[in-house]
Structure 1
Amino acid sequence: MIDNAARGLRHIDWRLFVPKLVTTLREGYDLTAFRHDAIAGLTVAIVALPLAMALAIASGASPAQGLITAVVAGFLISALGGSRFQIGGPTGAFVVVVYGVIDQYGYDGLLLATLMAGVMLIVAGLARFGTWIKYIPDAVVTGFTSGIAVIIFSSQIKDIFGLQMADVPAEFVDKWHAMWVARDTVDPATVAIAAGALALILALRRYAPKAPGFLIAVVLASLVVALAGLPVDTIGSRFGGIPSEIPMPRMPEIGLARMAELLPSAFTIAFLAGVESLLSAMVADGMTGRRHRSNCELVAQGVANTASALFGGLPATGAIARTATNIRAGARSPISGMLHAAFLLLFMLVAAPLAAFIPLASLAAVLVIVAWNMSEVERFRQLMSAPLGDRLVLLVTFGLTVLVDLTVAIEVGVVFAAVLFMHRMSEVVAIGRPGTAIIERDEDDETVHAHRRGLIDLDTLPPEIQVLQMRGPLFFGVANRLADVVDRIGTPPRVYIMRMREVPIIDSSGASRLREFLNRARRHHATVILSGLQREPKRTLIAMRILHPGDGVRLAPDFAAAIDLADRLIADQPTTDRTPAAE
């Protein structure tokens, strides 16, 4: 087993896992590029600073843990990743999952789940699962992203209105019911700070889009609260401020039972980190014309999440909005993302005491904008004009995300979409008896007789020959149709010609149904000729021991050759008893 693993490692193309940082430095890196990266890194850090704290608070953690994640994971994602411009850190997609894990298993449980997710991502990258991102339907991604946006918005109502609540339920319906019960505790000062911050962010986005709206709104809100002495919740009053240093790494408590109960949460974290990071890298590719290394990116995400867990941080992934900001700010290489983490660390070391004055209402206003951006309202509206099946996938995923659980939503959404795809594929697969057949032959096939070129009227074939036409993949969704078609033939012929040139693949179920058909033909002393069998289906049939000498199966390169072979078989073999063997 060890030898097999070693041989597998030797066959890995390690060039797929070379970080883009190495590629950039090999191409040449000068002072001009560094200046552009430094400006971009500072710009992104200004955007990430309030976001990291706000997302951590919304996740049920402390603002310091959000900053630690942005520093540790953000640095490693840029340094080791497969994208030149990726900016990593905590994102809105994790809010629901992290809040649920902390609520159910405590913060230590989150650290272990994040550590497990990091290992999963490393394995997924080494197994080259990075290219599988294209198999996740848009309806599923948009459904759970929009659902997360609704949940994030709901989680901020308490801080926006200053509601006095001892405990906020995690479930969506119970949360809104509890907030409605506490509606008489609305604090006007808190509402004014939240509304002012929200209005300022929107105004800056409209009239000064290049200004760091989040940071300006948070700073001004902090000044107003401090100077006016408003009695509103701040980071200092609720969390006691943030530390001015990065803690030493430590390993969370590990046990088999603990790992087993955290496995679903770890899988969800790994799935979200992988999907969002690769989506972010694809967005960056579209903006720059570059190409990312998806499997290298997954490995970097795994290393970053593992390190974040060891330093007491949160799950991290590529952040689409911050990555886009990095590109627009003129980034040239992954060094901009590394510098963004360095600038955030500098803030923790120098200006950590100032964070205590930040009102939570202003961070809630920041997250309202984040939720709106995540909601993808226009994309949701477009998908509601799609075919009925896609609309159902979208609505089911969205509804389960909001009302039940994100893990369940993803699982059901992907399975629903897969079943829908298989149904659609089965509708386009054809298995039947054609009326008129087009000759299939190679241009240089000298065995094709002139009178068989062009079209053949199958009604002129002798009754001893029956032709079956198959188009599309022979997979489990359509495999049973083969038996139905054969049943309609009636008296078995002496030769079946099965035209399979348009069958690109055969799965195990399709191969099993074909085996049953061959056994049935053998019992009726009929020969089966497979015409135009492609390489992949042939390989499957040989591997499953369906094609082997002496089993009554013949192969023909094309339909014309199959007819010639059928004619010879009928001429060479005397008419035999057509009574089938005992079933």
Structure 2
Amino acid sequence: MQYKLNFKGRYKDYSIHSLQRDVISGIVVGIIAIPLGMAFAIASGVKPEYGIYTTIIAGILISLFGGSKYQIGGPTGAFIPILFGIVMTYGYENLLIAGFMAGIILFLMGLFKLGSLIKFIPKPVTIGFTSGIAVIIFVGQIPNFLGLTGVEKHEYFIKNLNEIIASISSINLYSFFTAVVCLITVIYTPKFFPKIPGPLIGLILSTLVASFLYPSHVATIGSTFGDIPSNLPNFKIPDFSLEQIQKLIGPAFVIAMLGSIESLLSAVVADGMTSTKHNSNRELIGQGLANMITPFFGGIPATGAIARTATNIKNGAISPISGVIHGIVVLIILVLFAPYASRIPLASMAPILMIVAWNMSEHHVFLHLLKTKTEDSLVLVVTFLFTVFFNLTLAVEVGLVLAVIIFTKRMSDIMVTTKVLPNPENKQGKVEPQIVTDSHDCPQISIYDVEGPLFFGAAQTFEHSIMNTINYRPKVLLLRMGKVPFIDATGESNLSSIVRNFSKHGIVLISELSTQPKKVLTKTGLSQLIGEDRFFDHTGDAINYALLHLDKDKCLGCKHFTFRECEVLSDASKTTEEQIRSY
């Protein structure tokens, strides 16, 4: 018999069976999170226990207050280059302050409903910096994988690469063998035992091999960082000062931006796997709260972890309770088994991070975008290279600016202004560009089909194309704007310039204007300048209005016969308003 628990909202229809599934998934994810938490902390330049503290506290808070039912939060690989750079430049204590400030930024982003803005970051930019981060992580683990000695860590990739090359002769075969054992185990465990976490088995097996066969020949967590304490740290408020806040606002903003992107991408992945929909603003609030509280316990910045979230779902998670249980499991293991974790060789951590880097690189997507050989490929490569050789902040800035420039160019290319006339062979009198010729063009009415967004990138081209082709000063300028979905201030300004110049000797008519452009012209007063009676829903009505406002004398003897009414207008004996209206 299945008993229902009296929950509401995200816990509606929650049952004992649901709790059982959440417990199972929470235990599995908690076990996986332990080696990852320590590895991410070490790679970020801080002690391994800080990664565990983050996994516990941030993991629980993100599950409780976030906007996704299945999100698992904690330290992630994407943060490694950013956090390492902050630690190298400002120190661990200031990293805590930057993390707290990032939490405030994330909280405010959610409070002001900015969660949907993340979707406007182009995919080539996200793939570019993600792949760049993956390269940095992978290369950064080579010293531990090979057991190199005398390798000094630097903030920049190229310096770290030079250190590795200079120290390659100090390779430790014991460390190398330990790393290979762990790597093979992590790769093949899921193939033979899909329900068992590969990273955990890899750590245990390689640690046992090193402990029994050559216990004093490889560097361990304990020998490098000291023993891992078996309890949570005391609550401690970092020392804030106005000067620190000013110098850390930049790093805090980067942490917040990367955290928001990573967490919302993870939530989207969870939505795709479960056919649900997360609340992006609530997710940012949850992420913000977690990053505001975790630093008080020594934890580093956290975000949604895509791989752990996917594992949570695959193991049957039903609700956020699985994420809470995952944090509790990590806490229990910390209390019971912390002394044993100190014996883990650093060489055992390296292959785990290398596999994380390989998986997060999304190499298939990277190669696919590269093969397109389009402007997106350029954005991808530039973002990737700037991430690797400079830093993520500059990479995202350059990538976004480049993407905006390319997007603007594409939109301006879409803007097409074509002179058109009615097709006499079409019963509906449809206007077409090929009808316009030197011998078939009305001297008094110029009709233009405007297509594409009329914005700052295309406005000047639009104005020039109109003004350069009406030098013969026709009486009526008719703009068909049904295919103009959007107009901005620059587009309105250029359109206003056309109207003011043309109105000195003629009239401007506009047909089929869309809702957004119409609102803009109304707000700016341009619609009043044109005349409210000169806006038409149908081009045919606009043409009829134009025919009534021609200089009839100029029509006499005209042989262009552009419109059906032209034969009547050309013949002086038949030119009357009633005859024109009869058509």
Choose 355-364 or 260-269, whichever is displaced more. Answer: 260-269
Choose 181-190 or 96-105, whichever is displaced more. Answer: 181-190
Q: What is the match of residue 545 of structure 1?
A: 525
2:233 is the alignment partner of 1:247: yes
2:189 is the alignment partner of 1:219: no
Q: What is the match of residue 447 of structure 1?
A: none
Q: What does the per-residue CA deviation read over 1:390-415, in whole Å, with 9 as the maximum and x for residues that have no partner?
A: 11111111111111111111111122
Choose 565-574 or 119-128, whichever is displaced more. Answer: 565-574
| Of 468, 472, 490, the match for 1:491 | 472
| Of 98, 103, 117, the match for 1:113 | 98
2:516 is the alignment partner of 1:536: yes
| Of 551, 560, 575, the match for 2:540 | 560
Q: What is the match of residue 291 of structure 1?
A: 277
| Of 501, 521, 527, the match for 2:502 | 521
SS in structure 2 of the partner of residue 480 of structure 1: helix
2:173 is the alignment partner of 1:192: no
Please report how far the alpha carbon of residue 221 of structure 1 lies from its aligned counterpart in structure 2 after TM superposition: 2.1
Is the alpha carbon distance of 1:391 and 1:550 closer, same or farther for their aligned partners in structure 2, counting shifts above 3 Å?
closer
2:465 is the alignment partner of 1:500: no
Please report how far the alpha carbon of residue 55 of structure 1 lies from its aligned counterpart in structure 2 after TM superposition: 0.5
Please report how far the alpha carbon of residue 89 of structure 1 lies from its aligned counterpart in structure 2 after TM superposition: 0.5
| Of 46, 60, 68, the match for 1:83 | 68
Q: What is the match of residue 339 of structure 2?
A: 353
Inter-partner Cα distance in structure 2 for 1:93 and 1:284? 18
Inter-partner Cα distance in structure 2 for 1:154 and 1:438? 70
Choose 555-564 or 71-80, whichever is displaced more. Answer: 555-564
Q: What is the match of residue 409 of structure 1?
A: 395
Q: Is the 8 A contact 1:500 1:531 kept in 2?
A: yes
Is the alpha carbon distance of 1:545 and 1:311 closer, same or farther for their aligned partners in structure 2, counting shifts above 3 Å?
farther
| Of 167, 190, 198, the match for 1:182 | 167
SS in structure 1 of the partner of residue 481 of structure 2: strand
Q: What is the match of residue 477 of structure 1?
A: 457
Inter-partner Cα distance in structure 2 for 1:360 and 1:190? 8
Is the alpha carbon distance of 1:155 and 1:491 closer, same or farther for their aligned partners in structure 2, counting shifts above 3 Å?
same
Inter-partner Cα distance in structure 2 for 1:555 and 1:166? 73
Is the alpha carbon distance of 1:429 and 1:239 closer, same or farther for their aligned partners in structure 2, counting shifts above 3 Å?
same
Q: What is the match of residue 59 of structure 1?
A: 44
AA at the equivalent of 1:225 = A
Inter-partner Cα distance in structure 2 for 1:180 and 1:546? 67
Inter-partner Cα distance in structure 1 for 2:35 and 2:508? 71
| Of 219, 226, 230, the match for 1:233 | 219
Is the alpha carbon distance of 1:527 and 1:205 closer, same or farther for their aligned partners in structure 2, counting shifts above 3 Å?
same
Is the alpha carbon distance of 1:410 and 1:391 closer, same or farther for their aligned partners in structure 2, counting shifts above 3 Å?
same
SS in structure 2 of the partner of residue 144 of structure 1: helix
Q: What is the match of residue 18 of structure 1?
A: none
Please report how far the alpha carbon of residue 474 of structure 1 lies from its aligned counterpart in structure 2 after TM superposition: 0.4
Is the alpha carbon distance of 1:550 and 1:303 closer, same or farther for their aligned partners in structure 2, counting shifts above 3 Å?
same
Q: Is the 8 A contact 1:305 1:316 kept in 2?
A: yes
| Of 322, 326, 331, the match for 1:340 | 326
Please report how far the alpha carbon of residue 83 of structure 1 lies from its aligned counterpart in structure 2 after TM superposition: 1.1
Inter-partner Cα distance in structure 1 for 2:533 and 2:363? 57
Is the alpha carbon distance of 1:550 and 1:503 closer, same or farther for their aligned partners in structure 2, counting shifts above 3 Å?
closer
SS in structure 2 of the partner of residue 529 of structure 1: strand
Is the alpha carbon distance of 1:85 and 1:519 closer, same or farther for their aligned partners in structure 2, counting shifts above 3 Å?
same
Is the alpha carbon distance of 1:478 and 1:573 closer, same or farther for their aligned partners in structure 2, counting shifts above 3 Å?
farther
Q: Is the 8 A contact 2:151 2:164 kept in 1?
A: no
2:379 is the alignment partner of 1:393: yes
Please report how far the alpha carbon of residue 478 of structure 1 lies from its aligned counterpart in structure 2 after TM superposition: 0.7
Please report how far the alpha carbon of residue 432 of structure 1 lies from its aligned counterpart in structure 2 after TM superposition: 2.6
Inter-partner Cα distance in structure 1 for 2:344 and 2:288? 32
Q: Is the 8 A contact 1:117 1:270 kept in 2?
A: yes
Q: What does the per-residue CA deviation read over 1:180-225, in whole Å, with 9 as the maximum and x for residues that have no partner?
A: 1112221121111111111111221332232211111111222233
Q: What does the per-residue CA deviation read over 1:426-458, in whole Å, with 9 as the maximum and x for residues that have no partner?
A: 22221131254799xxxxxxxxxx986555866
AA at the equivalent of 1:413 = G
Inter-partner Cα distance in structure 2 for 1:363 and 1:131? 36
AA at the equivalent of 1:475 = F
Choose 124-133 or 344-353, whichever is displaced more. Answer: 124-133
Q: Is the 8 A contact 1:264 1:407 kept in 2?
A: no
Is the alpha carbon distance of 1:22 and 1:159 closer, same or farther for their aligned partners in structure 2, counting shifts above 3 Å?
farther
Q: What is the match of residue 580 of structure 1?
A: none
Q: What is the match of residue 210 of structure 1?
A: 195
Is the alpha carbon distance of 1:487 and 1:363 closer, same or farther for their aligned partners in structure 2, counting shifts above 3 Å?
same
| Of 333, 337, 349, the match for 1:363 | 349
Q: Is the 8 A contact 2:105 2:256 kept in 1?
A: yes
Inter-partner Cα distance in structure 2 for 1:573 and 1:223? 103
SS in structure 1 of the partner of residue 342 of structure 2: helix
- TM-score with structure 2 setting the length: 0.88
SS in structure 2 of the partner of residue 179 of structure 1: helix
Q: What does the per-residue CA deviation read over 1:286-307, in whole Å, with 9 as the maximum and x for residues that have no partner?
A: 1111111111111111111111
Inter-partner Cα distance in structure 1 for 2:101 and 2:533? 51
SS in structure 1 of the partner of residue 91 of structure 2: helix
Q: What is the match of residue 281 of structure 1?
A: 267
Choose 92-101 or 312-321, whichever is displaced more. Answer: 312-321
Is the alpha carbon distance of 1:362 and 1:35 closer, same or farther for their aligned partners in structure 2, counting shifts above 3 Å?
same
Q: What is the match of residue 443 of structure 1?
A: none
Please report how far the alpha carbon of residue 574 of structure 1 lies from its aligned counterpart in structure 2 after TM superposition: 12
Please report how far the alpha carbon of residue 56 of structure 1 lies from its aligned counterpart in structure 2 after TM superposition: 0.4
AA at the equivalent of 1:264 = G
Please report how far the alpha carbon of residue 564 of structure 1 lies from its aligned counterpart in structure 2 after TM superposition: 2.0
- TM-score with structure 1 setting the length: 0.88
Percentage of pairs with the same residue: 41
Inter-partner Cα distance in structure 1 for 2:235 and 2:533? 65
Inter-partner Cα distance in structure 2 for 1:185 and 1:452? 84
| Of 483, 492, 507, the match for 1:511 | 492
Is the alpha carbon distance of 1:204 and 1:479 closer, same or farther for their aligned partners in structure 2, counting shifts above 3 Å?
same
2:278 is the alignment partner of 1:310: no
Q: Is the 8 A contact 1:78 1:335 kept in 2?
A: yes
Inter-partner Cα distance in structure 2 for 1:451 and 1:231? 91
Q: What is the match of residue 269 of structure 1?
A: 255
Inter-partner Cα distance in structure 2 for 1:361 and 1:438? 81
Inter-partner Cα distance in structure 2 for 1:98 and 1:366? 19
Give the aligned CA root-mean-square deviation in angstroms.
2.4
Could you list the runs of 5+ residues in structure 1 that have no partner in the other structure? 1-20, 440-449, 576-583
Choose 35-44 or 110-119, whichever is displaced more. Answer: 110-119
Inter-partner Cα distance in structure 1 for 2:386 and 2:42? 24
AA at the equivalent of 2:269 = V
Inter-partner Cα distance in structure 1 for 2:430 and 2:217? 89
Choose 53-62 or 123-132, whichever is displaced more. Answer: 123-132
Runs of 4+ in structure 1 off by over 4 angstroms are 435-439, 450-462, 549-553, 571-575
Q: Is the 8 A contact 2:221 2:343 kept in 1?
A: yes
AA at the equivalent of 2:281 = N
Q: What is the match of residue 300 of structure 1?
A: 286
Inter-partner Cα distance in structure 1 for 2:479 and 2:239? 61
Choose 371-380 or 542-551, whichever is displaced more. Answer: 542-551
AA at the equivalent of 1:481 = T
Inter-partner Cα distance in structure 2 for 1:78 and 1:246? 20
SS in structure 2 of the partner of residue 433 of structure 1: strand
Inter-partner Cα distance in structure 2 for 1:161 and 1:465? 79
Q: What is the match of residue 149 of structure 1?
A: 134
Q: What is the match of residue 148 of structure 2?
A: 163
Please report how far the alpha carbon of residue 263 of structure 1 lies from its aligned counterpart in structure 2 after TM superposition: 2.2
Q: What is the match of residue 14 of structure 1?
A: none
Q: What does the per-residue CA deviation read over 1:483-521, in whole Å, with 9 as the maximum and x for residues that have no partner?
A: 211123212222211111111110111111112112212
Inter-partner Cα distance in structure 2 for 1:89 and 1:33? 24
Is the alpha carbon distance of 1:550 and 1:408 closer, same or farther for their aligned partners in structure 2, counting shifts above 3 Å?
closer
Choose 157-166 or 547-556, whichever is displaced more. Answer: 547-556
Q: What is the match of residue 466 of structure 1?
A: 446
Inter-partner Cα distance in structure 2 for 1:428 and 1:436? 23
Please report how far the alpha carbon of residue 281 of structure 1 lies from its aligned counterpart in structure 2 after TM superposition: 1.1
AA at the equivalent of 2:327 = A
SS in structure 1 of the partner of residue 527 of structure 2: coil
